[in-house]
């Protein structure tokens, strides 16, 4: 169990690290998203239907690549290490986030996710590009630089 201070209200929250890998922890007092690593580097963020707006649409000044995936999807599992590498190399230039489409059907339907993996690139809350299917690290990085 980790104790994480909420950046919004300052409340201390106990968070189970294993559960936080699959579900976005939120502050018990104000409901703001909690992050195990405040520096945001090194790992993709987990996004849910409830945290999508806050984590993706409200992010300003850096592009957000949202990986729409499912546990049973082989190509999704193949691309996961590539996205982990991109997140570790981001140095604040962009953010990598992951949305499990089976657990978050509302957001998947809103963006018409019909096949996975699908990666959506947002800039200042606007969808600017879509990558469908497994792609190379270089191809994904090139799309993020555009």
**CATH code for the domain in which residue 106 is found:** 3.40.30.10
Handedness of CA 131, 40, 20, 43 (dihedral sign): positive
Three-class DSSP category at 138 = helix
What CA–CA distance (Å, rounded) separates 25 from 16?
A: 9
Q: Is residue 50 located within the same domain as residue 34?
A: no
| Same-domain pairing of 4 and 60 | no
> How many folded domains does the chain comprise?
2
Claim to verify: residue 131 and residue 68 sit in the same structural domain:
yes
> Backbone dihedral region of 96: left (phi > 0), alpha (psi from -120 to 50 degrees) or beta?
beta
Based on the domain organization, do 98 and 26 belong to the same domain? no
**Entry pTM:** 0.72
CA quadruple 14, 53, 132, 79: dihedral, nearest 10? -20
Residues 50 and 22 in one domain: no
What are the b/e assignments for 125-139, b being 16+ CB within 10 Å? Answer: eeeeeebeebbeeee
- Asked if 105 and 134 sit in the same domain, the reply is yes
The confidence score (pLDDT) of residue 39 equals 45
Active site residue ranges: 73, 76
- Which residue segment(s) compose the domain that 14 sits in? 1-38
Closest CA to 92 of 136, 38, 131, 138: 38
Does residue 101 share a domain with residue 55? yes
- Most confident range (mean pLDDT) of 23-27, 35-39, 53-57 is 53-57
Compute the average pLDDT of residues 83-90: 90
Q: What is the pLDDT of residue 17?
A: 79
85 & 50 share domain: yes
Whether the CA torsion 30, 32, 35, 40 is positive or negative: it is negative
Q: Report pLDDT for 7.
A: 66
Q: Is the pLDDT of residue 49 over 80?
A: yes
> Do 44 and 34 belong together in one domain?
no
Looking at the fold, whether 76 and 11 belong to one and the same domain comes out as: no
Residues 65 and 127 in one domain: yes
Residues 27-49 have a mean pLDDT of 77
Report the candidate in 38, 30, 31 with the shortest Cα–Cα distance to residue 4. 38
Same-domain check for residues 52 and 71: yes
């Amino acid at each position: 169990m980790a104790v994480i201070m909420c950046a919004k209200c300052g409340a201390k929250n106990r968070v189970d690290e294993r559960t936080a890998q699959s579900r976005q922890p939120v502050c018990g007092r104000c409901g703001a998203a909690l992050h195990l690593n405040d520096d945001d580097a090194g790992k993709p963020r987990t996004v849910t239907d409830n945290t999508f707006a806050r984590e993706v649409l409200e992010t300003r000044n850096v592009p957000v690549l949202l990986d729409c995936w499912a546990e049973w999807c082989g190509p999704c599992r193949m691309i996961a290490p590539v996205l982990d590498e991109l997140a570790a190399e981001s140095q604040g230039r962009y953010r990598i986030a992951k949305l499990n489409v089976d657990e978050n059907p509302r957001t998947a339907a809103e963006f018409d996710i019909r096949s996975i993996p699908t990666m959506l690139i947002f800039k200042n809350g606007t969808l600017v590009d879509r990558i469908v299917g497994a792609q190379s690290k270089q191809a994904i990085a090139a799309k993020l630089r555009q």
